Amino acid sequence: MAKPKVYIGGQAVIEGVMMRGPGYIATAVREPSGEITVRKDAVTSVTERYPILKKPLLRGVVALVESLIYGLKSLSFSAQAAGEEGEELTAKEIAVTMVVSLGLAIVLFVIIPTYAAKYIHSTITDSRVLNLLEGILRLVIFLAYILGISLMKDIKRVFEYHGAEHKTIYAYEAGVPLDVDHVRPFSTLHPRCGTNFLLIVMVVSILMFAFLGWPDLWLRIVSRIVLLPVIAGISYEIIRFAGRSEQKWVTCAITPGLWLQKLTTREPSDDQIEVAIRALEAVRPVPEEAMATAGAGEENKEENVDA
């Protein structure tokens, strides 16, 4: 069977998996009754209305923002479908959640390591070394955060669905039938994973900030926040290239990101794989659609980085 021309991205949610294909996004959730419920929605990227946003660097920022929005919507739906209390988030609540989450991320991964690095300045004066040490501290905080949440019971279950999502996408990309027996042998580690993306962001930020000198504390913090979209755009281009390339040196370069996925993915059960399959089946193009969207397939490769 021929490999698909259109890539599909996804995200693990509460008791389920979200998949995004060309024109559609679907979230499949295992309800408390054992039944699988699937919600499928049509989606259109803002890049279709503003083609300039498809340009390198810009498309990465757009893809990241859209992934966060769709991810929050899917998480909200999955929480309700899985029997959690509360209603689905409104557009305003999603916006507030994104702002708060971004603020917490800036505090944890920008302000804290940047502030802490000032205590090293008394013994080291080389700005490149200082920025490098700050970046290493940021990376250590990031790895500690990933390790910490990976030990939480509820998060472990989400990571099992994360593994099911990766296996199912691998099977789809290999062109094999989408059933549990064919999906299970595939790896839980995928090069287009959001975990890979975040690690690349950390590495790119270390390299970029190394050449910014060592100005006052407030200016260092502001410069790092202002450059976040640039770093995200560069990192997106790197993971996009890595996801398409089969060259050995590229595979070696993304290996640390695959290792890190051993923390953010787990081997799923057959029931979890079944949920991931239902989500992917809802968004994959049928042969007629595949022919119609063949030209858009390259754009979809750029948009659908797994979370």
pLDDT for 302 equals 39
pLDDT band for position 288 (50/70/90)? Answer: very low
pLDDT band for position 304 (50/70/90)? Answer: low
- pLDDT, the chain, mean: 86
pLDDT for 1 equals 46
Q: Which 3-state string (H, E, C) describes the chain?
A: CCCCCCCCEEEEECCEEEEECCCEEEEEEECCCCCEEEEEEECCCHHHCCHHHHCCCHHHHHHHHHHHHHHHHHHHHHHHHCCCCCCCCCHHHHHHHHHHHHHHHHHHHHHHHHHHHHHHCCCCCCHHHHHHHHHHHHHHHHHHHHHHHHCCHHHHHHHHHHHHHHHHHHHHHHCCCCCHHHHCCCCCCCCCCHHHHHHHHHHHHHHHHCCCCCCCHHHHHHHHHHCHHHHHHHHHHHHHHHHHCCCHHHHHHCHHHHHHHHHHCCCCCHHHHHHHHHHHHHHCCCHHHHHHCHHHHHHHHHHCCCC
User: Is residue 277 pLDDT above 90, yes or no?
Assistant: yes
Q: Which of 104-108, 250-254, 283-287 has the highest mean pLDDT?
A: 104-108
Q: Residue 196: which of 269, 248, 146 has the closest Cα?
A: 146
More confident residue, 1 or 111: 111
Q: Is 57 left (phi over 0), alpha (psi -120 to 50) or beta?
A: left
pLDDT band for position 7 (50/70/90)? Answer: confident
Read off the pTM: 0.85
User: Is residue 289 pLDDT above 60, yes or no?
Assistant: no
pLDDT band for position 86 (50/70/90)? Answer: low
User: Is residue 272 pLDDT above 90, yes or no?
Assistant: yes
Q: How many CB atoms lie within 10 A of CB 230?
A: 15
Per-residue pLDDT tens over the stretch 194-215: 899 999 999 999 999 988 888 8
Which whole number is the average pLDDT over 48-52?
Answer: 90
Per-residue pLDDT tens over the stretch 93-140: 888 888 898 899 999 999 999 888 878 777 787 888 888 999 999 999
Task: Tell me the residue length of the chain.
Answer: 307
User: Is residue 290 pLDDT above 60, yes or no?
Assistant: no
More confident residue, 86 or 17: 17
User: Is residue 299 pLDDT above 80, yes or no?
Assistant: no
